[in-house]
Chain A
Amino acid sequence: NAGVTQTPKFRVLKTGQSMTLLCAQDMNHEYMYWYRQDPGMGLRLIHYSVGEGTTAKGEVPDGYNVSRLKKQNFLLGLESAAPSQTSVYFCASSYLQGETEAFFGQGTRLTVV
């Protein structure tokens, strides 16, 4: 009963490097989300997906790209990492948007130096 799994859990990047964060859910949920959590700022939505093959921008999408090629996976990419992207990233999923419970992964702590 894995729920929502994020890979990796920790990562240190140098400025300008690229990486992909993977989120996988085994609950057959249609909706998936990527948030970032920063001290004093709370959780802010980066991108989200309402189904396989779809993506949409959230509150803070700049510098990130996403893909949802398979229903169970939602990838978050950083093409050229910047120190401002140092944060804790959370993935979440839900069966319906806004009408059902959302479940979160354990987070990825990313440091860009």
Chain B
Amino acid sequence: KQEVTQIPAALSVPEGENLVLNCSFTDSAIYNLQWFRQDPGKGLTSLLLIQSSQREQTSGRLNASLDKSSGRSTLYIAASQPGDSATYLCAVPSGNTPLVFGKGTRLSVIA
């Protein structure tokens, strides 16, 4: 059974700092890995999708990496802003199983 773990559970940083969020998964037989953002009381917004054949995917100040063999992904946020404050979730499909989610990292960027 696929299990997804996100560390840390919560993170508070000053504005302007670069930061890394971590995601690990137990079954490396994945098609891809997806990072989402969730604002309080809102739905999930897709940030980045990395295919299993890719090592990195970039969107603006966000960079996601994937090391499938070690079961790890990182989300790098450059020059953090207060508007980046949210919960970040990673999720992987595995075989016939739809997305399995980690419990998320709650990020607070302090102005």
Contact = CB atoms under 8 A, between A and B. Distances in A.
B98 A42 contact: no
Contacts of A42: 89, 101-104
A97 interface: yes
A1 B46 CA distance: 16
Interface residues of B, number: 26
Most buried by A among B98, B100, B101, B104: B98
Contact of A98 (B43, B98, B103): B98
A45 B98 CA distance: 8
A81 B103 CA distance: 26
Interface in B18-44: 30-32, 34, 36, 41-44
A102 interface: yes
Contacts of B34: 101-102
Interface SS of chain B: strand
Interface size class of A (residues with CB under 8 A): 20 to 34
A103 interface: yes
A101 B46 contact: yes
Interface in B64-111: 89, 91, 93-104
A33 B98 contact: yes
Contacts of A35: 101
Contact of A97 (B43, B91, B93): B93
A104 B44 contact: yes
A11 B99 CA distance: 26
B32 A92 contact: no
A35 B96 CA distance: 16
B98 A58 contact: yes
Interface of B: 30-32, 34, 36, 41-46, 49, 89, 91, 93-104
